[in-house]
Amino acid sequence: MLRAVARIDTGAVQRNCARLAAELAGGAELCAVVKADGYGHGADACAAAALTGGATRLAVATGAEAAQIGRRFAHVPLLTMGALGPEDLDAALSAGSAVAVWRDGFLRHVADRARAQGSTARVHVKYDSGMGRLGNREPAEVLALLGACAESPDLEPAGLWTHFATADEPGSAFFDEQLARFTAVAEEAKAEFPGIIVHAANSAAVFRDRRSHFDMARCGVAVYGLDPFQGNPAERGLSPALSLRSYVADVKRFEPGDSAGYGRTWQADAPTLVGVLPLGYGDGVRRGLSNNAEVLVQGRRHPLVGTVSMDNVTVDLGPETDVEPGDEAVLIGSQGEEAILAEELAARLGTINYEITCGISARVPRVEG
Ligand SMILES: Cc1ncc(COP(=O)(O)O)c(C=O)c1O
């Protein structure tokens, strides 16, 4: 009877990685993206499972994440993908992580810090092929940055990469434009710097277009069994790794007109029984799910009624129920024959599955099994 727990099926992470690795063309490596605490699933346990499943590399976003993963998986090539301030850069380099660079000034700074640490920094030069976020838009500058790495005793040109803006939008012509731009730069870069790895694909791109696989794919969402296209992950052979569970702390009888929660946003229109679950938006159950979600108890769906509070939600169990205090309640995941996917909650909230699992708060323990 845990108040709120995120159960993580690391076997599912392992199987998802095996599935992704099998999908990759021509020996491309699988890099498991474990930033944001493994998309809310727990970075350490998921990284270990991903490596067992066939990932050969790991990626994170921040210096602190690099320090955490680098400590535990010192033997695994790591890439820190984000923009790094001085402290983040030092943390990433000390963790032995490769870093992303797209400006000359920052490249010199990386060289200085690597020299100060007595190491050589592995650099992945980022080309902005259309995402309009991090990266350099000029192919000539991108190639010049790789050249500068090759000439510096403190730097190693390790990679060239880009990121797609619309890989998850089937039929988007912009994806093909980005792919064409990146392919042209990648071919030149490979000819000049044969030791580098080039990479572009995220999870959606892996399923969408084998030409995007290059030497490595950076997969996050699919590693965790979430569907990159916001559909049913099972249709792509992926198994969701996370379930969010609580229990029924109390069951009480409601008469017509009785209300549940702040603002009285739900009132019983007939006699019924209402279950109280001791978790809420403080745990990442978003308030937008008030009167807008279902919860599994005894293998059946029950409407979440009333306003989601910080520490409680209420569910309508119906007038005759066998549900008792102490019964398990499932907000994400399966119970009996029924399942509630993160994709379902995302659709209800007008968001994406990524935000659902990343939004499960730190006070919810992540428990393997
Ligand atoms: C630069 C970069 N590469 C790869 C990924 C992984 O993408 P996905 O989770 O869609 O597989 C992300 C995730 O946001 C990213 O920011």
Which positions of the chain have pLDDT values less than 50? Answer: none
206 lines ligand 1 (CB under 6 A): no
- Which of 160, 218, 356 should be mutated for ligand 1, with most atoms under 8 A from CB? 218
- pLDDT at position 1: 81
What pLDDT is stored for residue 135 in this prediction?
98
Q: Share the mean pLDDT of the chain.
A: 98
Which of the 8 DSSP states describes residue 276? Answer: E
Dihedral sign (CA 226, 227, 231, 233)? negative
Are β-strands 300-305 and 294-297 bridged in parallel, bridged antiparallel, or unpaired? antiparallel
309-312: Cβ within 8 A, 24+ apart:
309/261, 309/262, 309/280, 309/281, 310/280, 310/281, 310/282, 311/278, 311/279, 311/280, 311/282, 311/283, 312/261, 312/276, 312/277, 312/278, 312/279, 312/280
Q: How far apart are CA 272 and CA 147, in angstroms?
A: 72
**Distance between Cα 263 and ligand 1 center (Å):** 39
Rounded Cα gap, residues 145 and 151, in angstroms:
10
Our answer to whether residue 190 is catalytic in this structure is no
Active site residue 281: no
Q: What is the pLDDT of residue 114?
A: 98
CA of 30 to the centre of ligand 1 (A): 13
The answer, yes or no, to whether any atom of ligand 1 lies below 6 A from the CB of 124, is no
Q: Is the CB of 286 under 6 A from ligand 1?
A: no
Q: According to the model, what pLDDT value does residue 369 have? A: 87
Atom of ligand 1 nearest to the CA of 204: 10
**Cα–Cα distance between 277 and 245 in angstroms, integer?**
10
**How do 294-297 and 155-161 pair as beta strands?**
unpaired
**Residue with CA at minimum distance from ligand 1 atom 8:** 220
The continuous run of DSSP H or E covering 101 comes out as strand 98-101
Share of the chain above pLDDT 70, in %: 100
With a 6 A CB cut-off, is 240 part of the ligand 1 pocket?
no
* Residue 221 alpha carbon, nearest atom of ligand 1: 9
Nearest atom of ligand 1 to the alpha carbon of 134: 1
Cα distances (Å, whole numbers) of residue 260 to 5, 271, 276 = 24, 13, 10
**Marked catalytic residue, from 127, 262, 281, 354:** 262
Q: What are phi and psi of 100, to 5 degrees?
A: -90, 135
CB 124 within 8 A of CB 215: no
